[in-house]
Amino acid sequence: MEFLTRFSLKNSAAVIIIVVLIILGGIVSALSLKVENMPDISFPVVIVETVYPNAAPEDVLDDVTKPLEKAVDKIEGIKYLNTISRDNASVLVIMLNSGVDVDKARDEVERKVSGVKLPVDAERPQISTEGFSSEPIYYVSVAPKNENASAESLDSLITNTVKPELEGITGVESVSVIGDRIRKVRIYPKLAALNQYGFSPSQFKQLVLSNHVGIPAGTVKINGEDNAVRVLTKFTNVEQIRNTKLFLPAGMNGGLSYVKVGDIADVEFEVKQEQISYLDGKPGISLRVYKSREGNTVETGKLVTQKLEEMQKRYPDLRIKTVYDSSVNIKNSISGMMKEGIMGAVMASIMILLFLRNMKSTIIVLVSIPLSILVSLIFMNWLNLTLNMMTLFGMAIAVGRVVDDSIVVIENIFRHLQMNQMRNTALIRLAAKEVTNAITSSTITTIAVFAPIAFVSGIVGEVFRPFAITVVCSLLASLLVAVTVVPLMTKLLLLRSTKVKEHKSGRLTHTYVNLLTWSLGHKLLTAAIALVLFVGSFGLVSLLNVSMFGDSKLGIIQTQLTMPKGTALEETASMTDKLQTVMQKHPEVDYIETVIGSGGQDNKSSMFVMLKDSANPGAIVDAFRKETDPMIPAETKFTINKISNGANEAYEVVLNGPSKESLQEAAEQVKEHMKKNPELFNVNDNLSDKKSEVIIRVDRDKAAEWGLSPSQISGDINSLVGGNKIGKIKIDEEEYDFMLGLKEEDSNSVEKIKGVELRTPSGQQVFLSDIADVKKEEAPAEIMRRDKKEYISIKADIASANKEGVSSAENAELRKLTLPAGVSISSGGVSEDMQKSFTEMFYALGAAVVMVYIVMVIAFGNAMAPLSILLSLPLAAIGGLVGLFVTRSTLDLTALIGFLMLIGVVVTNAIVYVDRVQQQREAGMPIREALLEAGVTRLRPILMTALATIVALLPLGLGEVKGSLMSPGLAIVVIGGLTTSTLLTLVVVPVGYEALDRLRSKFLRKNKSKEGNVPDQDVQQSI
């Protein structure tokens, strides 16, 4: 690095030009970076969704789910395969191992699935992946100001104008609509008429379809030119369907050969609302805007807002309300993070000024902050990273550390300028050279600390990797600035300055020298004190709350109401309205958006509750629960949760067993025990939802007597009661679903289904009840399997902030239960996620210590000096744990990242100190004098770097950026750890260094006595 200092001092103009280019490049990069809330990553999961109309869960399992399971289970890289079979749909959730390329896995799944033969009625499987960018970025509610306005006109405006215009915005992938009225053309057969005219239900269905065709019929040559021939007889309006003539068997209808569809069926243009949307209790239509993967969330959100404002002016009779705009949250978070980062830089500059008492020196040091950040932005642009909460947090954290190298360099140069009257470029070069090895070693050591994050798997590794890259880029830039720009600016601003005066050692220095002298003379007592503090601090771990991520301060609450299967949409709406009225009364509530019929299920509803800025989300959730719990009927679930930081914070146990009966028995035991735990609420399992089914068991012998087969009977019943979608119909350029089936009042009881008359091949009629047993039975609403075996998942929300503590305690209690033979229990949810993530982070911490030691051994050329430096690491843990305890913060993943970062930060001071000791010993100074001299010489830069880092992180540690994934825990850990390690390092490291040196000398003397000669210099240096 010394050659860079020589280059900068000799080529001032070139360095200035490079700095200008960096500034310009950094600004251009900042303007071109995509702005997101979180890194653009894909979760290690591939989802396969298949619609199978009119099929019960067991049919979906047998006909769709099992064939798809067989097709994909051999794909390389699968961790486990979860499947859900429910009414009309199959869902495969393929969890992948860490490191598997999600896009390649998706392509492989698509190839495998495309070769599976599924039932004719099943739709093509839809394959997707999940990531932060797959969530909607914008929620909008649109409603007429006049409550008597036509609902049809609003639907038409949304479908034909609002939705297409929003989808045309740059960066918008798609827009989903909730609460609009679905239009369908329905044919309702009249059973008596069908029987009168000799049609079976299946025949009637086929006759209708045979009149609604568009079939290519080949090509013909006309005037030498090929022309396609098409037979086109598709229906274009309802009257055409009613007036369509169907051919009759001979002798029917009094000799007539046809009958009109309208005579044997009702044909209607149906308008039905399958989902209901409210904003503050007033009906409307909700829109969800999804951005494209390449889109910029902030820029896309801005364009959507502008378009909506323009629409509001264009349609003054509408009330267009932005419910949620993620770009605003991102801008607020980024603004808050930038503000706290700038405040940290200002506080660091004040601290430096207090120590150096020279404005020019302070300015020189502060130059390293913007230059390091600008270099980071250039690297981020080059690496295709986005400007998000993680990268921004990395830069904010780096603010305190990037000045360290510059402080050490400027302090040493400043000290030499104070002591020497003969000031020239050689003096600056000499002063910089003295500390170049120290700052290079300390910076590379800190960078090495972040390398293990690259090996942390899963979402945790993906999320924190951009953070680590940003910090590493900033630190590398700060090192280059310290050895080039700082010496150059010193030459330009301070070399001829007459204001550089020597300041005599103060009381602090004398006190420190006395303390160090005493400690060196009482090594065992000093070590004992440090050990007691270290062991005592670990006693605080059991008193800390442990969680995946810190508690989110985002002022949004989400609720989910699940009523018994079969509940009508209107009944769900009535219950939801009562709950909403209770919550709307709270003064902290800003507005509530309600969706009834969530996920296309009439028995479910959800509410999106936006709170005012002054509200406490946790307190509001508790109040909501107390007020709504008495209102919830039996067999109805109502959950209220804050929007979390993206982590799975639910408690979950998974039961596996040999049979459904044993699993259900075990599930009841486990649920009963969990409900007794006051820290757990919303206890439910995947078997709790039951639904009723009408089972038709055909008597083959009786059916055969009438000339019917079970397949024929199934086809007729399906044509009547399935509400079948038989195709599409285009009316006035709008395409609608074409449906066929009995009216609800003709099939809403078992007795009416029993009374369905079927037509036999001989023309006779027979009641369904004469050839089949028809019963109503209870069945699970969903069938869930993992790796082709059924299991039961029992989940609960955790009330306490100590997620890990509650999970571990409940796991221990559940293991004591005596479950049915063959049933095993395992943890999932937050317990499984935390155990894996924390384990990997602890491995990363261990790997970081090893890498730090290796780097220092290479830098110092021996093994002893790095060992003494490592003594500063346990001292850092003391302050980190005490800091979390005092501030009542949570020990989460961000706090563990803080401990990881602490490993690199705290050794910096020890390296600066030990490097000076090594220099003095090489110059011939005795070890005790070298230790004392290094203490006096390096006291100021050590205190300056430590205090600058601490005060720079104070804004982040004391506050919390609203909506940020990062909790203050990281800053608190670094502040506390750096405080204790700095104070103790100045004493413990010298004591350890001298003790290790004595051990080395003793070893060498013993070696000398055995071998009869003195080890050469190389051997001494290597120990």
pLDDT in tens, 811-862: 888 888 888 888 888 776 545 555 666 677 777 778 878 888 888 888 777 7
The tokens describing 644, both together, are 């979390």
Q: Answer for the pair 796, 674: CB distance below 8 angstroms, yes or no.
A: yes
- Residue-wise pLDDT for 78-100, tens only, equals 888 889 888 888 999 988 887 78
Running DSSP on this structure, what letter comes out for residue 714?
H
Q: Answer for the pair 282, 149: CB distance below 8 angstroms, yes or no.
A: no
Among 794, 102, 84, which residue's Cα sits nearest to residue 458?
A: 102
Is pLDDT above 50 for 146? yes
Task: Tell me which of 15-29, 694-708, 832-846 is least confident.
Answer: 832-846
Residue found by looking up tokens 């290597």 in the block? 1022
| CA torsion, ordered 594, 599, 605, 606, to nearest 10 deg | -50
- 793 and 655 in a single domain? The answer is yes
The tokens describing 783, both together, are 């069938």
Q: Give the residue, 387 or 83, on which the prediction is more confident.
A: 83
Domain membership of residue 587 (yes or no) is yes
Domain membership of residue 287 (yes or no) is no
- 65 and 209 in a single domain? The answer is no
- Give the mean pLDDT of 215-240: 86
The tokens describing 650, both together, are 């639910």
Running DSSP on this structure, what letter comes out for residue 645?
S
Among 151, 143, 139, which residue's Cα sits nearest to residue 175?
A: 139
Domain membership of residue 155 (yes or no) is no
- Give the mean pLDDT of 525-531: 86
- What is the three-class DSSP state of 204? helix
Look at residues 131, 156, 173 and tell me which one is the last residue of a structural domain.
131
- 561 and 662 in a single domain? The answer is yes
In one-letter notation, the amino acid at residue 156 is S
Is pLDDT above 60 for 616? yes
CB burial string 681-698: b at 16+ within 10 A, e below: bbbbbbbbbebeebebeb
Given this model, what pLDDT does residue 1022 score?
Answer: 44
Q: Tell me the C-alpha distance between 910 and 56, whole Å.
A: 68
Task: Tell me which of 118-127, 580-589, 803-812 is least confident.
Answer: 803-812
CATH number of the domain enclosing 969: 1.20.1640.10
- Domain extent at residue 663: 556-690+783-829
- Give the mean pLDDT of 766-773: 88
Q: Tell me the C-alpha distance between 125 and 49, whole Å.
A: 5
Q: Could you give the count of Cα atoms lying within 13 Å of 261 in the half-sphere of its Cβ?
A: 26
Q: Tell me the C-alpha distance between 293 and 290, whole Å.
A: 9
Among 838, 552, 797, 836, which residue's Cα sits nearest to residue 651?
A: 797
Running DSSP on this structure, what letter comes out for residue 713?
H
Domain membership of residue 159 (yes or no) is no
- 680 and 815 in a single domain? The answer is yes
- 399 and 487 in a single domain? The answer is yes
- Residue-wise pLDDT for 650-692, tens only, equals 778 888 877 778 888 888 888 888 888 888 877 877 666 677 7
Domain membership of residue 314 (yes or no) is no
Look at residues 80, 114, 131 and tell me which one is the last residue of a structural domain.
131
- 421 and 539 in a single domain? The answer is no
The Cβ of residue 797 has, within 10 Å, a number of other Cβ atoms equal to 20
Bridge partners (DSSP) of residue 739 are: 186, 725
- 670 and 720 in a single domain? The answer is no
- 978 and 878 in a single domain? The answer is yes
Measured CA distances, 315 to 310, 312, 340, 702 (Å):
9, 5, 42, 65
Tell me the pLDDT band of 951, cut-offs 50, 70 and 90: confident
The tokens describing 448, both together, are 């090495």
Task: Kindly state the percentage of the chain with pLDDT values over 70.
Answer: 90
Is pLDDT above 50 for 1020? no
Q: Answer for the pair 750, 694: CB distance below 8 angstroms, yes or no.
A: yes
Is pLDDT above 90 for 982? no
Given this model, what pLDDT does residue 64 score?
Answer: 92
Q: Tell me the C-alpha distance between 169 and 172, whole Å.
A: 6
Q: Tell me the C-alpha distance between 409 and 416, whole Å.
A: 11
Among 996, 983, 999, which residue's Cα sits nearest to residue 529?
A: 983
DSSP string, 486-513: HHHHHHHHTTT-S--------HHHHHHH
Tell me the pLDDT band of 66, cut-offs 50, 70 and 90: very high
Q: Answer for the pair 142, 308: CB distance below 8 angstroms, yes or no.
A: no
Q: Answer for the pair 288, 176: CB distance below 8 angstroms, yes or no.
A: yes
CATH number of the domain enclosing 677: 3.30.70.1430
- What is the three-class DSSP state of 931? helix
Distance of CA 611 to the CA centre of its chain: 22
Contacts 24+ apart (CB under 8 A), 237-245: 237/731, 238/185, 238/267, 238/268, 238/269, 238/731, 241/185, 241/187, 241/208, 241/267, 242/267, 244/208, 244/211
- 681 and 584 in a single domain? The answer is yes
- 625 and 650 in a single domain? The answer is yes
Q: Answer for the pair 500, 417: CB distance below 8 angstroms, yes or no.
A: yes
CATH number of the domain enclosing 759: 3.30.2090.10
Task: Kindly state the percentage of the chain with pLDDT values over 90.
Answer: 6
Tell me the pLDDT band of 499, cut-offs 50, 70 and 90: low
Q: Tell me the C-alpha distance between 671 and 679, whole Å.
A: 14
Rg (CA), the chain: 37
Given this model, what pLDDT does residue 723 score?
Answer: 66
Q: Number of helices (H) and strands (E), helices first, in the chain?
A: 36, 32
Residue 759: CB partners within 8 Å, gap ≥ 6? 194, 195, 198, 199, 200, 765
- 532 and 638 in a single domain? The answer is no
Domain membership of residue 284 (yes or no) is no
Among 100, 92, 98, 99, which residue's Cα sits nearest to residue 76?
A: 100
In one-letter notation, the amino acid at residue 825 is I
Q: Tell me the C-alpha distance between 390 and 967, whole Å.
A: 11
Q: Answer for the pair 300, 307: CB distance below 8 angstroms, yes or no.
A: no
Rank 69-73, 410-414, 494-498, 944-948 by mean pLDDT and report only the highest.
69-73
- Residue-wise pLDDT for 153-182, tens only, equals 888 888 888 999 999 998 888 898 888 888
Measured CA distances, 973 to 238, 342, 890 (Å):
71, 20, 11
Q: Tell me the C-alpha distance between 506 and 512, whole Å.
A: 10
Tell me the pLDDT band of 1021, cut-offs 50, 70 and 90: very low
Report the domain count for the chain: 5
Furthest C-alpha separation in the chain:
130
- Residue-wise pLDDT for 258-298, tens only, equals 889 899 889 988 888 888 888 888 888 889 999 887 778 88
Q: Answer for the pair 356, 411: CB distance below 8 angstroms, yes or no.
A: yes
Given this model, what pLDDT does residue 544 score?
Answer: 77
In one-letter notation, the amino acid at residue 277 is S
- 373 and 403 in a single domain? The answer is yes
Is pLDDT above 80 for 780? no
Among 267, 293, 311, which residue's Cα sits nearest to residue 162?
A: 311
Look at residues 780, 815, 838 and tell me which one is the last residue of a structural domain.
780
Phi-psi region of 976 (alpha: psi -120 to 50; beta: other; left: phi over 0): alpha
* Runs of H (alpha helix) within 158-296: 163-167, 191-196, 201-210, 238-243, 261-264
Residue found by looking up tokens 């080529």 in the block? 11
The Cβ of residue 699 has, within 10 Å, a number of other Cβ atoms equal to 13
Given this model, what pLDDT does residue 1017 score?
Answer: 47
Given this model, what pLDDT does residue 65 score?
Answer: 92
- Residue-wise pLDDT for 457-497, tens only, equals 666 677 778 888 888 888 888 888 888 888 888 888 877 66
DSSP string, 300-366: HHHHHHHHHHHHHHH-TTEEEEEEEEHHHHHHHHHHHHHHHHHHHHHHHHHHHHHHH--HHHHHHHH
The tokens describing 800, both together, are 């306490």
Q: Tell me the C-alpha distance between 554 and 642, whole Å.
A: 8
Domain membership of residue 283 (yes or no) is no
Q: How many residues does the chain have?
A: 1023
Domain membership of residue 331 (yes or no) is no
Residue found by looking up tokens 């290796």 in the block? 854
Among 315, 276, 322, which residue's Cα sits nearest to residue 144?
A: 315
- Give the mean pLDDT of 625-629: 87
